[in-house]
Amino acid sequence: MNASNIQEKINKCRNKLGISQDRLSKLADVNYNTIIKIESKTNTNPTIDTLTKIAKVLGVSVDDLLK
């Protein structure tokens, strides 16, 4: 799993939708700090559950985030 790619894809999708990190965290029911840590590459191994919630909000599959 390449954390850099995950971070970039989440950030790109989030910006494309025009939603903030805070809004993404609320929509995905994921802790705000988790979103920040993933996007800043501090959390390089998010759980599949977390990725699933984020992917659902972003309208992509978990596979899309992991590719």
Calculate helix-pair angle for 21-28, 32-39, nearest 10 degrees: 120
Residue 4 has pLDDT above 80, yes or no: no
pLDDT, tens digit, 9 for 90 and up, residues 9-32 = 999 999 999 999 999 999 999 999
Distance, in Å, from the CA atom of 22 to the CA atom of 45, rounded to the nearest integer, reads: 20
Task: Provide the residue count of the chain.
Answer: 67
Alpha helices in 1-67 (DSSP H): 3-17, 21-28, 32-39, 48-58, 62-66
Residue 2 has pLDDT above 70, yes or no: no
**pTM for this one?**
0.91
pLDDT, tens digit, 9 for 90 and up, residues 50-61 = 999 999 999 999
CA atoms within 13 A on the CB side of 24: 28
